[in-house]
Amino acid sequence: ISTNTYAVDQQTLFSLKAITSNNTHNNFFIDSSPNSFSITKNGLVTQGKFGPVLGSSSAFFNGSGGLSLPHTSQTQTSSDFTWETWFYPTDQTVGDIALMTKGWSSGNVGGPLIYLDANFVLRFYANNINNNGSWNTFNGIMIATVSRNQWQHVAISRQGANFYIFFNGQLVNTYSRSGNIFYNTNTSPLCIGQGTNGLNSFIGYLSGTRVSNSARYISNFTPLISNTSDGNTVALLNYTNSTLLDVTSNNNIEMLGNSEVNSLKKPFGESVIMLD
């Protein structure tokens, strides 16, 4: 059996090639920050050049789970920080979901939490006392009304006692709060696209999810479509680990269900497509 790969020529209308990095597959997520946190996947979340790609790649969340990063002193801090992500809700997206949180699940007052409510209003919550029955720091302040089938960017920055709330790079409001917005016993993972209990999951696409240990934004800015890691990056998910390409560039390939690109099992070349 030949182990040569096909070359694309003028007679080629369609040629699939599975592209991976780090000898993994598109259900394996990598933190591109210097911390290289281990990313835990819950349910069906896939990534690659499919759907409404922003920059080089995006991740698809189907409402059955999300991603989480382990609890560390870097993801829970009383100092300056920034949380940000691009998000693309689809027609199937419903409200009552967590875009990013550390400590919140439905029925529990925890936080902080970037939350999309049933009326498609994006809100921010935070509480420094575990499940005391009320949000004592930020109680669902409105960020913006969200549109379906569009890329939108949200960012929360803290500099000292000042909190800056941004939507699509525009400063929505500034708030003054002192002290910690993470309750002291919060050892929950940092969750992306789901609540801490794995529920309240997002349906749609995310890209450029980043956590920083500095206030990156204190005035209007232009959100980058692809973030890079620097000395202030705590965690960075650009969702570019692997993808499925038509090498001819004639077709856009979307991976559905549990199909995945895998470089761990291959007859030759770079990788294969696994269909279940």
pLDDT tens-digit readout, 134-186: 677 888 899 999 999 999 999 999 999 999 999 999 999 999 988 777 665 66
pLDDT at 22: 45
Gyration radius of the chain's alpha carbons? 20
Distance of CA 138 to the CA centre of its chain: 22
Q: How far is CA 21 from CA 1, 50, 246, 263, in A?
A: 26, 17, 17, 8
Report how far residue 161's alpha carbon sits from residue 104's, in angstroms, rounded to the nearest whole number.
Answer: 23
- Which residue do the tokens 């990788």 mark? 271
The residues, ordered by sequence, that sit 6+ positions from 241 with a Cβ below 8 Å of its Cβ are: 20, 21, 22, 24, 25, 26, 28, 29, 30, 47
pLDDT at 197: 83
pTM (two decimals): 0.74
Report how far residue 113's alpha carbon sits from residue 115's, in angstroms, rounded to the nearest whole number.
Answer: 6
The residue ranges of the chain whose pLDDT is under 70 are 1-32, 39-56, 107, 129-134, 182-186, 240-276
